[in-house]
Amino acid sequence: MSKNYVTGFPRIGEQRELKRVLEEFWAKKCSFEDVKQNASELKRRHWEYQRDAGVEFISSNDFSLYDNMLDTSVMLGAIPKRFRHLKDEELYFAMARGNASCVAMEMTKWFNTNYHYIVPELSLDDEYSLNASKIIDEYHEAKALGIKTKINIIGPVTYLGLSKRVDRGDVYEFWGKIVPLYEELLKVISTLDDEVVVQIDEPIFAKELDTKVLSLIKPTYDRLCKVSSNIKIAVVTYFEHSNEATKILVHTPIWAIGLDFVHGDENLKSLDIIALSGKELIAGVVDGRNIWRCDIEKTTQLLESISNFVSKERILISSSCSLLHVPFALKYEQKMDKEIKEWLSFALEKLDELSLLSKIFFDGEGSLNEAQKEALSSNIKANQNRKISPLIHNKTVQARVKKHTKLQREGDAKERLKLQREVLGYSDLVTTTIGSFPQTPQLRKARSDFKAALISKESYEAQIKKYIDECVAFQEECGLDILVHGEPERNDMVEYFGEQLSGYGFSENGWVQSYGSRCVKPPFIYGDISRPRPMTVGWITYAQSRTERIMKGMLTGPVTMLNWSFVRDDMPRGEVSKQIAVALSDEIDDLQNAGIKIIQVDEAAFKEGYPLRGGKIKAYEAWATRDFKIAVSSAKEETQIHTHMCYSEFNDIINTIEDMDADVISIETARSGNELLKIFKKVGYTKEVGPGVYDIHSPRIPSVEEIVKQIELLLEVLPKEQLWINPDCGLKTRKWEEVKPALTNMVEAVRIVKGRL
C-alpha cells in the first residue's frame, strides 16, 4: 500500500529554470510561448519525479508563474480596476510587478515563512466571476501524461483573510460573493473525471480566529461539499495546530483533514474527534519547511501513536506543508561536507522518506526490499550520528554559553545616552545611514572572483578598501554626521556572518522561492555556534582610520541570523540564538576595544519570527529580547548601541522593542508620514529613534522640500533631541546616481529644519 501524499511541490525548477525564462521574458528576450513551454516541461518533470517516487496524491495547480494567491485572484476575477484594460499575461504580470502606468499589488509574507504572496485587493464596486481555465488546463496536462492529480486550491476563508479591502470595511463581507464562485468551480471540476480529489488549503485555520471567522467554516464547507458527489474535498492546514477549526470541520461532509504534526503537536488532541468523524487524516509528518532528514524510526512511532486513534486505513502520510519552502535536491551539493550532507533532506529526498515511511507503516518493516532496508539503515545511522557528531556538539561552546551570565549591559538608558552624547558629541537631528551603500557590479565581481580564487586576497582587499575610501569620502563631503563603511565585503547580511561562524553550513544550489522569480539560498545552522575569530573588526577599524568622524560598526543580530536560516531541529530555537548572541557579544567587545564607539546590531527580521499563535508569543519575545540583550551585554555604557528593523508597524511590539534596550533604533516609517511613529510617543519612549525620512525601495530621488516636510512631521511627534535622521533601510540595492543626490538632499533638509528651529 502506498498512501502517501504531497501537499505541494516546488515550481521554480531544480536549476531555477522558471526564474531564468521569466526574467528573459520580462526583459523582452523571449516570447510568452517560450515561458509556457518551459513551464510545461517543468510541470511534467515535477509530476514524474513524484510519480517515480511512488507518491499517490500528486497535485496539479500547485504550479504558478508567479504566485498562487495571485492565481486565485485571477480565478475569481478579483482584478483591481487599474489593471482592467489589460489582458492575459500582460494583466497577470502587471498585477504582480506593476508596469509603466500601474503600481503593482502589494506583496507580503505567507504566514511565518519567507515566501511572499500578492495581497488581493477587494472592493464592493467590483464584480467577480469565475475563470477556471488554469485549473482545468493543468489537470488535463497531467492526465495526458498518465498522471491523475488532486487539484490544489486556496480556500475561501484563507483567501479572504489574507485580502485587503480598498474601499475599507471587512474582508469577510465578501464571503457571499466568493463562495458561489468556488461552488461554480467545483461544478466544473466535477466534470473532469469520475472522481476528483480537491485539496483546499486553509492555513489560516492555524491562527487564532475570532468567532465570526470560525462561524464561516461550517457553512462554507457544507456548501462546497454539496456541489457534487464525485468530488472528495480535503481541507489542509499547516504551520501550526488548527484545533478550533478541526472541531468544526469534523461536522461537515468533507472527505479528509490535513494536519501538520511537525509544527503543531497540539493537533494530536484532535485525533479522537477525527476518528469519530470517520474522515481520512492527512498526517503531515515529514517537515516541509526544514531541511533535516526525517527520523524514520521516530516518525514511524508518531504514526503508530496516531493510529491508536485513527485507524490505519484512514491515514495518508504527508509532508507537513507544501515542499515549496525547501530546496529541490541534494544531488547538486557536490562541495558539501559528506557527513553534514548525510543529515539533510531536500524536496526530492523527502519524497523518498514519505515512500519509506508508508511502506513501513502500512506493510511492516518485514516487507522492505533490499534497497529499502538499505535506506532505512542509512537513515538510522545518520540520525544516530547527528546525536553525537563533534561537528554538531561542541562542549567548549556549550560551557562558554552556560557560563555567560551577563544578561544585559550596565546603566540605565537615560544616563547612558547622556554619557554617550558627551563622548560622541553629536547634536540634535543627527544624520546617519543604515549601513550598506550601493553594491556595484564591480564589487560583486570582485567578491565572486575572490571566492573562485581568480584574484588574490591582496587584490580583493585592495578593491574593498578603495570602495570604503570612496564611500567615506562621499559621506564626509555630503556632510553626514555618523558614517558607515558601506558593507562592500558583504554579499548578504546573514551569509556574511554565517560564513565566519562555526556551526553554520551553506549549500551550492539550495534555492527557495521567495517571491515571483526571486529565490533565496538560506544558510543552515547544523551545530553549536562559535566565533573562531573577529568577523568585522578589520574592516570597521580600517574605515575608522580613514576619517575623523565617528564610524558605526555593523552587525546582524541573533534573531535575524536565525529567522533567515534553516535552523537545527535538535535544540530549541532560543538556545541556538543564545549561542549566536554570545558570539556577537565577543565581537562587540572586540570592536569597542578597537576604538569603535557606535555599534549597530540589525534585527531586520525580528518581527518575522513571531509565532502564529498568540499563546506562544510571550515565549518568543522572552528569548528574542534576552538574546539581543546578551549580544550587546558587553557594550560599555559609553558605547552606543543601535538597532535597525525593517518595519514600520510597532504598535503590537513596542514594549518588546523598549525591552531590547538599544540606545537608538532606526525604522522604516518613511511611507506612513508620522502616523506610525505616534506609538513611540504614546508609550513615553525615552530612547532615540531614527524613523526613515525617505523610502529607499524606489529609485526615486526625494527632493529637499519633501524631506523637510517629512522631518517636520516627525517633529510633531517626537522632540528634536530624540530624533535621528536617516533613510529607511540600507542602500545596497540602489545606484550611486540615486544615493548621492538623495543623501545630499537629506543633509540639506536637516540644515534647513535646524535653521528654522
Contact residues for ligand GLN (CB under 6 A)? Answer: 434-436, 487, 493, 554, 602, 604, 644, 646, 729-730, 732
- Looking at the Cβ atoms of 514 and 703, the one nearer to ligand GLN is 514
- Catalytic site includes residue 697: yes
CA distance 506 to 129: 46
CB of residue 540 to Zn ion, shortest distance in Å: 19
Cell numbers found for residue 217: 467554516
Question: Would you count residue 665 as binding Zn ion (CB under 5 A)?
Answer: no
Contact between 646 and Zn ion per CB under 5 A: yes
Site for Zn ion in 418-477 (CB under 5 A): none
Place of cell 540606545: 663
The residue among 510 and 730 lying less far from ligand GLN, judged by its C-beta, is 730
How far apart, in Å, are the Cα atoms of 99 and each of 33, 91, 119, 229, 691?
21, 10, 17, 44, 29
Q: How far is the CB of 98 from ligand GLN (least distance, A)?
A: 22
CB of 647 to ligand GLN, least distance (A): 10
Given a contact cutoff of 8 angstroms between Cβ atoms, the answer to whether 737 and 701 are in contact is no
Task: Identify the three-state secondary structure at position 483.
Answer: strand
Q: Residue 435 touches which of ligand GLN, Zn ion, none (CB < 5 to 8 A by kind)?
A: ligand GLN
**C-beta closer to Zn ion: residue 65 or 494:** 494
Rounded (5°) CA angle 267-325-734? 135
Rounded Cα–Cα distance for residues 179 and 585 (Å): 54
Beta strands 518-520 and 512-515: pairing type?
antiparallel
Neighbours of 686 (CB within 10 A): 12
Q: Are 5 and 56 in contact (CB under 8 A)?
A: yes
**In the complex, what is the shortest distance from the CB of residue 734 to ligand GLN, in angstroms, rounded to a whole number?**
11
Instruction: Cell 490544489: give the residue.
Output: 152
554 binds, among ligand GLN, Zn ion, none (CB under 5 to 8 A by kind): ligand GLN
Nearer to ligand GLN, 141 or 668 (CB): 668
Rounded CA separation 583/52 (Å): 45
Nearer to ligand GLN, 487 or 608 (CB): 487
Nearest distance from C-beta of residue 211 to ligand GLN, angstroms: 38
Q: Closest CB to ligand GLN among 306 and 604?
A: 604
Q: Which residue is nearest to ligand GLN (CB)?
A: 730
Out of Zn ion, ligand GLN, none, what residue 732 binds, judged by CB under 5 to 8 A for its kind, is ligand GLN
Question: Which listed residue (85, 140, 251, 697) is catalytic?
Answer: 697
Q: With CB cut-offs between 5 and 8 Å by kind, which of Zn ion, ligand GLN, none does residue 79 bind?
A: none
In this structure, what are the phi and psi dihedrals at residue 199, rounded to the nearest 5 degrees? -90, 120
113: Cβ contacts below 8 Å, ≥ 6 apart? 239, 289, 325
Q: Decide which of Zn ion, ligand GLN, none touches 436; Cβ closer than 5 to 8 Å per partner kind.
A: ligand GLN
Q: What's the grid cell of residue 40?
A: 510545461
Which of Zn ion, ligand GLN, none does residue 488 bind to, with CB < 5 to 8 Å depending on kind? Answer: none
Minimum CB separation of residue 52 from ligand GLN in Å reads 41
Quick check: 610 and 111 in contact, CB under 8 A? no
Closest CA to 189 of 157, 143, 158: 143
Helical H segments across 30-118, by residue range = 32-52, 68-76, 88-97
**Which DSSP symbol is given to 265?**
G
Give 303 or 554: the residue with its C-beta nearer to ligand GLN.
Answer: 554
**Cα–Cα distance for residue pair 565/498, rounded to 1 Å:** 9
568: cell is 537545527
What is the C-alpha radius of gyration for the chain, rounded to an integer number of angstroms?
Answer: 27
Closer residue to ligand GLN in complex, CB, 293/607: 607
Of the chain, the end-to-end C-alpha distance in Å amounts to 78
Q: Nearest approach, Cβ of 662 to Zn ion (angstroms)?
A: 14
Residue 494 binds which entry of Zn ion, ligand GLN, none, CB below 5-8 Å type-dependent:
none
Q: Which does 586 bind (CB under 5 to 8 A by kind): Zn ion, ligand GLN, none?
A: none
Q: Smallest distance, Å, CB 731 to ligand GLN? A: 7
Q: Which of residues 303, 324, 480, 729 is near Zn ion by CB under 5 A?
A: 729
Residues that bind Zn ion (CB under 5 A): 646, 729
Residues annotated catalytic, as ranges: 697
